[in-house]
Chains A and B, each alone.
Chain A
């Protein structure tokens, strides 16, 4: 019994059926992020209609149709980019990844335009009332995740442009696309709560 190597070999070995550690890690991360967002969403819903003074959602918020179309379709292009990697179609991969980045950047530009209007025209800041407090923190938290995703996508894009072997990183790109889909799904929740229910 000096080493574990001498463990009996007689019965057939069942495969331990191990999972992919990248996927388990990312799903765990998404689980904890969902929990984080749910608290900010709860706070938003809790404070709907409670602002005593200052601008109300119905006065200043317009439904961001174009930004939403951009972000949702960027999920599609991300998926197409991952498929292109699988089929070893390098230029198609670059095109779809580039499109994903542009669509994500356009979403951020729309957010910037909206915040600029809210701050400078409507005089709504995070300190104005609880609507401002919950609005900027929830939308801002989501936007932070979009920015993180954009940075990661950009790193992948630049690495691919500078000649990295894209096929070798297929698994990582696949995981990155999952993160991007997650950011998208969160936007659907934020959109529903802020622009549909809360308005």
Chain B
């Protein structure tokens, strides 16, 4: 049996002592020096939401600048800083901490453990990631001049192409803030990945074999593998860039046979798997939620595991589809086109399985399920534009256009963000003991979906009409005005949706309906304990006989283990 980090009696003594403690020592105990996976998980998610607000405001400012042709709402320099900070924040300080938070909160509960394998390492990862985010935003105070590369915030784009990042072109400290803060985020993610693998492989409760492990945990294992393999290329390239900037090395120095394209290879060697590192946790949420709301077990469990693993492996070999416009040899173009389309196969299997799970089920259209269904639509469309961009000649035409911007916002907002809201709506009762309001949840859902489509649907066409990404402004008469005008209004609708979400959360915390242990009549172990779970998660560690332990418990006359092998 797994080793136990917080023995039962220790937990009891702890909470008894806490009742006498003052507010501040309780606060420090629970939210600063804590090593409890549930607190760290929630802290990750809170930090991610704070940075989400910051990056969302940046996105809104970008859209306001682009609302009208020849607009001067922002200066060109500030505009460059905005899109750099928006992208960097969303990927490294919203996406990554949010998925780390989900993993931390859910995995020990779902496998019947009392904590992660390395609780103190977990706290280290959280604080390093948070420090990275603070470092990134402290760049605003390091203003040294108004020329490019000398202002406070980084302005080299989230993929920071060489040689623009070299000392000659970015002489100030803004690029160093970008390098170091992203490096800290990567260290935090690596630490989390090691912890997830060790927890899933070493802390499972009695009877929970790998074949019975919840699919969410399986998918987070794939993500962890990808983090371990795909983050070092970025870190290595950043170390090289630091050596270039401070020691006079020539890795990406085009004045001394250094190669700028090498940076692109290293960056996208990280950058493409990163897309899957972000979206597979979304798949994981959907895979847990759809069966519960369709009242059927997941269709094709083994195929789901196989598809996740093959996505994890194939996505390591497709990076150069971000580099067609560099001018690759045609053999490379063919290889990376085919490899990229290959990822569509396991992804297609997953979409098939999710739909097959719903097929013939008694679907309950509660908010978590609505988000999952929206995700399916959006991700299918994003996948189709992705296949279009995988074709090299098509990409030569539309690479670095707003078509690409619309495509990846479809994957990340229409896809990932929808699944994260699904996850929040589904597990909020477990984490807080309170139900979110269905009425506010549906307002949040529909406004978000409408706002999202108003923002991004038209941008596909603006891209097809030739609007390049990252342009500061554009002349009138190109046919882009209407799409840009409505897109900006879409952001306003999304902002209202987010406000309703915040209202819903605060309202539920204050006066939400009591959730009880198992409000959704679900089947995985986290619903077997109280809401919120006690510090030690389970008074007695549960024993598991199938992949749906709570089904077995509720239906002793017809348990799953009668039908599952091994």
- The answer to whether B529 and A43 have CB atoms under 8 Å apart is no
Q: How does the 8 Å CB contact mask read for B185-214 relative to A, with 1 for contact and 0 for none?
A: 000001001110111011111111110000
Those of A148-192 within 8 Å (CB) of chain B: none
Interface centre among B117, B266, B543, B556 (most CB of A within 10 A): B543
Q: Which residues of A contact B539 (CB under 8 A)?
A: 3, 5
Q: Which residues of B contact A13 (CB under 8 A)?
A: 206-207, 543, 545
Q: From A4, A6, A20, A29, give the contact of B112 (CB < 8 A).
A: A4
Smallest distance from the beta carbon of B309 to chain A beta carbons, Å?
Answer: 15
- The answer to whether B566 and A126 have CB atoms under 8 Å apart is no
A27 to B224, CA, bound (A): 13
Interface centre among A1, A6, A29, A46 (most CB of B within 10 A): A1
A170 to B539, CA, bound (A): 32
Those of B217-260 within 8 Å (CB) of chain A: 224-225, 228-233, 235-237, 239-240, 243, 247-251, 256-259
B127 at the interface (CB under 8 A from A): no
Q: How does the 8 Å CB contact mask read for A38-58 relative to B, with 1 for contact and 0 for none?
A: 111001001100111000000
A38 to B236, CA, bound (A): 9
A110 at the interface (CB under 8 A from B): no
Please give me the residue from chain A that is nearest to B244 by CB atom: A133
B12 at the interface (CB under 8 A from A): no
Q: Which residues of A contact B542 (CB under 8 A)?
A: 4-5, 7
- The answer to whether A137 and B249 have CB atoms under 8 Å apart is yes
Please give me the residue from chain B that is nearest to A21 by CB atom: B202
- The answer to whether A39 and B248 have CB atoms under 8 Å apart is no
- The answer to whether B232 and A8 have CB atoms under 8 Å apart is no
A52 to B269, CA, bound (A): 28
- The answer to whether A32 and B228 have CB atoms under 8 Å apart is yes
B528 at the interface (CB under 8 A from A): yes
Q: Which residues of B contact A2 (CB under 8 A)?
A: 517
- The answer to whether B262 and A35 have CB atoms under 8 Å apart is no
Q: How does the 8 Å CB contact mask read for B1-18 relative to A, with 1 for contact and 0 for none?
A: 111000000000000000
- The answer to whether B247 and A24 have CB atoms under 8 Å apart is no
- The answer to whether B248 and A126 have CB atoms under 8 Å apart is yes
A15 to B235, CA, bound (A): 39
Q: List the one stretch of B383-391, B442-450, B547-555 in contact with chain A.
A: B547-555
A interface residues, tally (CB under 8 Å)? 47
A133 to B256, CA, bound (A): 11
Chain B interface residue bracket vs A: 35 or more
Q: From A20, A35, A38, A133, give the contact of B251 (CB < 8 A).
A: A133
A64 at the interface (CB under 8 A from B): no
Please give me the residue from chain A that is nearest to B211 by CB atom: A14
- The answer to whether A18 and B237 have CB atoms under 8 Å apart is no
A28 at the interface (CB under 8 A from B): yes
- The answer to whether A52 and B257 have CB atoms under 8 Å apart is yes
B525 at the interface (CB under 8 A from A): yes
Q: From A3, A18, A29, A47, give the contact of B528 (CB < 8 A).
A: A3
- The answer to whether A130 and B118 have CB atoms under 8 Å apart is no
- The answer to whether B258 and A32 have CB atoms under 8 Å apart is no
- The answer to whether B197 and A39 have CB atoms under 8 Å apart is no
- The answer to whether B540 and A32 have CB atoms under 8 Å apart is no
- Evaluate whether A32 and B247 lie within 8 angstroms (CB atoms) in the complex, with A5-B539, A7-B553, A14-B566 already known: no
A134 to B517, CA, bound (A): 58
Smallest distance from the beta carbon of A119 to chain B beta carbons, Å?
Answer: 13
Please give me the residue from chain B that is nearest to A18 by CB atom: B202
- The answer to whether A4 and B232 have CB atoms under 8 Å apart is no
Q: Which residues of B contact A6 (CB under 8 A)?
A: 553
Q: Which residues of B contact A197 (CB under 8 A)?
A: none
> What 7 A-B pairs have minimum CB-CB distances, sorted nearest first?
A127-B248, A4-B542, A39-B236, A4-B528, A36-B232, A5-B540, A35-B232
Q: Identify 13 new A-B residue pairs, CB closer than 8 A, beyond the known A35-B231, A35-B233.
A: A4-B538, A5-B542, A6-B553, A7-B552, A13-B545, A14-B209, A24-B117, A24-B202, A25-B195, A36-B232, A52-B256, A126-B243, A129-B256
Interface residues in chain B, defined as those with a beta carbon under 8 Å from any beta carbon in chain A: 1-3, 112, 117-118, 190, 193-195, 197-199, 201-210, 224-225, 228-233, 235-237, 239-240, 243, 247-251, 256-259, 262, 266, 269, 517-518, 525, 528-529, 538-545, 549, 552-554, 556, 559, 561, 566
Mind listing 20 A-B residue pairs with CB under 8 Å?
A1-B518, A3-B528, A3-B540, A4-B553, A5-B540, A7-B549, A9-B543, A11-B561, A13-B206, A14-B207, A18-B2, A18-B202, A31-B229, A35-B233, A47-B257, A51-B257, A129-B257, A130-B250, A133-B249, A137-B251
